Amino acid sequence: MAPISRGFRRRHPDDGQSGRLPPGQYLERDFPVLSAGPTPRPDLSSWSFSIGGEIDEGRSWSWDEFQQLPRETVTKDIHCVTKWSKFDTTWEGVSLDVLLDGVQTEAGFLTAFCDGGYTTNLPLDDVTDGKAWVAYTYDGEPLDPEHGGPARLLVPHLYFWKSAKWVRGLTLTIEDELGFWEQLGYHERGDPWREQRYAGD
């Protein structure tokens, strides 16, 4: 039972949206930027997205090839571990179901890798069956570099650090191998509805 903070009360009216907010989150109308280092600005002519690791045959797409893949537009609520949530964000990109279609693998997990060296780990079950995308537009515009452009992972049902910016590919793994923030004490899965912010939550 949390102790009462004497005199503390909600300052912003509950606009009926609080059921959409996971525990400990607040509603943000802007789109804050969080990242661990400078914003990479890769050259699209040498950009590729690849899938390797525990897979029968590796796959890779150039930027142009990636644009030819079937695309989807999705509108999702997103939740950052730094406590802000943002409702109804609209993205366009390629479903991981398309990228992983027909893959033969023993893997149960993957590590997303990115320009700038960032990594994050995810169970395959969290990125298949319409749960994850590689997004390259936000709100109808090409994704800004500071928000992860040219392309970022989008896994909206988990805390947003799992939606790796500047993603360049996936390595399929048998075991769950901790990524950048996960090695620094953040939760290995990061379900906002269970408030899995930090290791052990």
Partner 1 sequence: MGRLASRRQETPTAHTFVIDVPGWPGHRAGQHVDVRLTGEDGYQAQRSYSIATPADDERIELTIEVLPDGEVSGYLGEELREGDEIELRGPIGGWFAWGPQDGGPLLLVAGGSGVVPLAAMVRDRAREGSDVRAQLILSARTEADVFYRDELRGLAADDPALDLELTLTRERSPAWTGRRGRVDRTLLEELAIAAADRPHAFVCGPTAFVEAVADALVDLGHAAELVRTERFGPSGA
**Which chain residues interact with partner 1 by CB under 8 A?**
2-12, 23-24, 26, 28-30, 32-40, 82-84, 116-117, 146, 180-181, 184-185, 197-198
Nearer to partner 1, 56 or 146 (CB): 146
Which run of H or E residues covers position 98?
Answer: helix 96-99
| Minimum distance of partner 1 from residue 28's CB (angstroms) | 7
Nearer to partner 1, 6 or 141 (CB): 6
Nearer to partner 1, 97 or 188 (CB): 188
The span from the CA of 195 to the CA of 27, in Å, is 16
| Minimum distance of partner 1 from residue 38's CB (angstroms) | 4
Nearer to partner 1, 36 or 174 (CB): 36
| Minimum distance of partner 1 from residue 37's CB (angstroms) | 5
Nearer to partner 1, 92 or 182 (CB): 182
Token pair for residue 56?
Answer: 């029968």
Q: 68 by DSSP, 3-state: which?
A: helix
Cα within 13 Å of Cα(59), Cβ side:
20
Residue 179 dihedral angles phi and psi, to the nearest 5°: -90, -160
Q: Are 51 and 100 in contact (CB under 8 A)?
A: yes
Nearer to partner 1, 2 or 57 (CB): 2
Which run of H or E residues covers position 97?
Answer: helix 96-99
Token pair for residue 165?
Answer: 């910016």
Question: Residue 137 burial by CB count (10 A; 0-12/13-18/19+): exposed, middle or buried?
Answer: middle
| Minimum distance of partner 1 from residue 196's CB (angstroms) | 14
| Minimum distance of partner 1 from residue 151's CB (angstroms) | 19
The span from the CA of 108 to the CA of 126, in Å, is 10
| Minimum distance of partner 1 from residue 176's CB (angstroms) | 20
